[in-house]
Chains A and B, each alone.
Chain A
Amino acid sequence: MKQKSVAVVGAAETTKMGKIPDQSVIGLHADAALNALADCGLKPSDIDGVATAGLSPVELAYYLGITPTYADGTSVGGCSFMLHVRHAAAAINEGLAKTILITHGESGRSRVGAGGRFGGGSSSLAGQFEQPYGPVGPPTMFTVPVLRYLKTYGLTEEDLAWVSVIQREWAAMNPRASFRDPITVEDVLNSPMIAWPFRMLMCCLVTDGGGALVLTSADRAKDFPRKPVYVLGTGESVETPMVSQMEDFTTSKAFRVSGKKAFDEAGITHKDVDHLMIYDAFAHLPLYGLEDLGFCKPGEAAAFVRERNTAPAKDGKPIGKLPLNTNGGGLSYMHSGMYGMYALQESVRQLRGVAPAQVPDAKISIAHGVGGMFAASGTIVFSNEAP
């Protein structure tokens, strides 16, 4: 790897060692982190990159009050932290983050708060402060902020329904889409209620599938048989493992931070973007995404969608200026659980010029993903022209 000047500037262990029955796993991570920060005279707000194993980097960042542009959750056993150091060096060299915190904490003997990863255990933050109130997976979690969003901007269920309707138009053009029959706003609003105000046709599919990508240097890419799709810019961030603790229910901080970082890295403006993918596990996500990525002002995405700016050509109306989720999205194409891979695949197809619903002359595509329930975000700016 590139030998640049990356160094360790802070290092510390937990305050106590041995048998620590009065601190949980996340508490040990935080204790070690605060000691390491004190060692180098920094505060959590000075940190813009996090890495950890055994605990989700989302939990670590949220717990410490860090808004990162780099999150590494590589978890491959006891040597994970060596890999974190290596990834951190590469990340700092590439400008993904400036100051990265790597933590470890384990209640191996006392087993306090050692319930599992990603909010699984009853002693985790979500296990204590969300699960007791009856959520049943994404349809009842991801959707919790939406009534506040609708009220803030004077929107209704109909505005959510339009997202589903227009994505079905794209799906109709895609022979591999799970659902291809046209639907109307009335169809969406008459579909079974899942979790008020969300109806079945505002929720993603549950399907089986997979995808893979191969990356190499831009120099080598020219020698391969397929048209290269270049990575122009990237972004990432995390906010909170608990949807109830989002800073603002009308906007995702992880989306905003990730999107801005990707635009800055790519050196592009919104006008340069020919094609957009926004991970749509539910109908509100494209609305939050359009606003948080800066394509629309707060509260204006619903009208943007309804006015067919993201839609295919239909009944003599031209294709919208920002074709969105052109494979049909998680709402109509497929959703196996971690849909981000399919958003990336569609961006690559569009830039190779081989998509079933091809956007003419697409040169720049953005694939914007979400992880957890607004917990994390990643944004990739692609181009089919060598940078």
Chain B
Amino acid sequence: MPPRMLPDPTPETRHFWDGCREGELRLQRCTECDGGSYFPPRPFCPRCGSRKVETFKASGQGVLWSYVINMRPRPDMGTEPYAIAVVKLAEGPKMMTNIVGCPQTPEALKLDMPLKVSFAKQNDDISLPFFEPAGA
């Protein structure tokens, strides 16, 4: 199996991937407007354009917002069907992810089920933020 396709962090996203490695889901928010938190990372507020933004540790809680189950796995993802999911975080932003600790079936994957983040180490630099059923 070829190595999994992994992100190549940039200076603007480094804090996010450092957080994943250290077991924290990090979001950003504007300190000038009340536009709330945002994702993916960038060094300015996508709502008002201010560069006065801060990074904070998110709760890691969310719900299953939508997904597909890919029946034709990408070579670096193994041979079994897997869900490509979007979680809606408690803080508001949506994030693509995989669901772990749960069968990859329509019966097991119910929209709006509570999820919590779970970090999976890929190498010394990159851990991917996956989500698992919050009751697990």
Q: Give me the interface of A with B, judged by CB distance under 8 Å.
A: 21-24, 26-27, 30, 34, 37, 43-45, 63-65, 112-113, 115, 121-123, 125, 127-136, 139-141, 143-148, 151, 192-198, 242, 244-245, 249
Flag if A127 contacts B65 (CB, 8 Å).
no
Flag if B96 contacts A130 (CB, 8 Å).
yes
Given contacts A34-B51, A136-B74, contact A145 B66 (CB under 8 A): yes
Flag if B69 contacts A196 (CB, 8 Å).
yes
Query: B47 — which chain A residues lie within 8 A by C-beta?
Result: 45, 65
Bound Cα distance from A195 to B39, whole angstroms: 26
Flag if A244 contacts B68 (CB, 8 Å).
no
Flag if B49 contacts A244 (CB, 8 Å).
no
Contact indicator per residue, chain B 78-113, by CB within 8 Å of chain A (1) or not (0) = 000010111000000011111000000010000100
Bound Cα distance from A5 to B111, whole angstroms: 53
A134 to chain B, nearest CB (A): 4
Query: B123 — which chain A residues lie within 8 A by C-beta?
Result: none
Selected from B42, B85, B96, the residue in CB contact (under 8 A) with A242 is B96
Flag if A244 contacts B96 (CB, 8 Å).
yes
B121 to chain A, nearest CB (A): 13
Does residue B77 face the partner (Cβ distance < 8 Å to A)?
Answer: yes
Flag if B8 contacts A123 (CB, 8 Å).
yes
Contact indicator per residue, chain B 33-64, by CB within 8 Å of chain A (1) or not (0) = 00000011011111111010000000000000
Bound Cα distance from A27 to B11, whole angstroms: 9
Does residue B136 face the partner (Cβ distance < 8 Å to A)?
Answer: no
Chain B stretch 1-40: residues in CB contact (< 8 A) with chain A: 4-13, 17, 39-40
Bound Cα distance from A30 to B17, whole angstroms: 21
B72 to chain A, nearest CB (A): 6
B63 to chain A, nearest CB (A): 11
Q: Tell me which of B40, B77, B82 has the highest count of chain A C-beta atoms within 10 A of its own C-beta.
A: B40
Given contacts A134-B98, A140-B68, A244-B95, contact A115 B8 (CB under 8 A): yes
At the interface, is chain A mostly helix, strand, loop or mixed?
mixed
Q: Give me the interface of B with A, judged by CB distance under 8 Å.
A: 4-13, 17, 39-40, 42-49, 51, 65-74, 76-77, 82, 84-86, 94-98, 106, 111, 128
Query: A112 — which chain B residues lie within 8 A by C-beta?
Result: 10-11
B3 to chain A, nearest CB (A): 11
At the interface, is chain B mostly helix, strand, loop or mixed?
loop
Bound Cα distance from A113 to B45, whole angstroms: 20
Selected from A26, A131, A196, the residue in CB contact (under 8 A) with B71 is A196
Bound Cα distance from A21 to B70, whole angstroms: 38
Can you offer 16 A-B residue contacts whose CB atoms are under 8 A?
Answer: A37-B49, A44-B49, A63-B46, A123-B9, A128-B10, A128-B17, A134-B98, A135-B84, A141-B84, A143-B68, A145-B66, A195-B68, A195-B71, A197-B106, A242-B40, A244-B94
Q: Tell me which of B9, B82, B96 has the highest count of chain A C-beta atoms within 10 A of its own C-beta.
A: B96
B68 to chain A, nearest CB (A): 4
Bound Cα distance from A198 to B45, whole angstroms: 36
Flag if B67 contacts A128 (CB, 8 Å).
no
Flag if A249 contacts B9 (CB, 8 Å).
no
A216 to chain B, nearest CB (A): 41
Flag if A30 contacts B44 (CB, 8 Å).
yes
Flag if A43 contacts B48 (CB, 8 Å).
yes
Query: A132 — which chain B residues lie within 8 A by C-beta?
Result: 4-7, 128
Flag if B98 contacts A144 (CB, 8 Å).
no
A292 to chain B, nearest CB (A): 17
B1 to chain A, nearest CB (A): 13
Q: Tell me which of A130, A133, A134 has the highest count of chain B C-beta atoms within 10 A of its own C-beta.
A: A133
Flag if B71 contacts A22 (CB, 8 Å).
no
B123 to chain A, nearest CB (A): 12
Bound Cα distance from A147 to B6, whole angstroms: 26
Query: A195 — which chain B residues lie within 8 A by C-beta?
Result: 68-72, 84
Closest B residue by C-beta to A15: B51
Flag if B12 contacts A24 (CB, 8 Å).
yes
Apart from the given pairs A63-B42, A127-B7, 7 other A-B contacts in the complex at a CB distance below 8 Å:
A43-B49, A122-B8, A132-B7, A134-B70, A134-B76, A194-B72, A195-B69
Query: B71 — which chain A residues lie within 8 A by C-beta?
Result: 192-196
B94 to chain A, nearest CB (A): 6
Query: B8 — which chain A residues lie within 8 A by C-beta?
Result: 115, 121-123, 127-128
B5 to chain A, nearest CB (A): 5
Selected from A27, A122, A192, the residue in CB contact (under 8 A) with B7 is A122
Query: A144 — which chain B residues lie within 8 A by C-beta?
Result: 66-68, 84, 86, 96
Query: B95 — which chain A residues lie within 8 A by C-beta?
Result: 129, 244
Selected from A23, A43, A45, A193, the residue in CB contact (under 8 A) with B12 is A23
Given contacts A112-B10, A128-B40, contact A146 B96 (CB under 8 A): no
Query: B13 — which chain A residues lie within 8 A by C-beta?
Result: 128
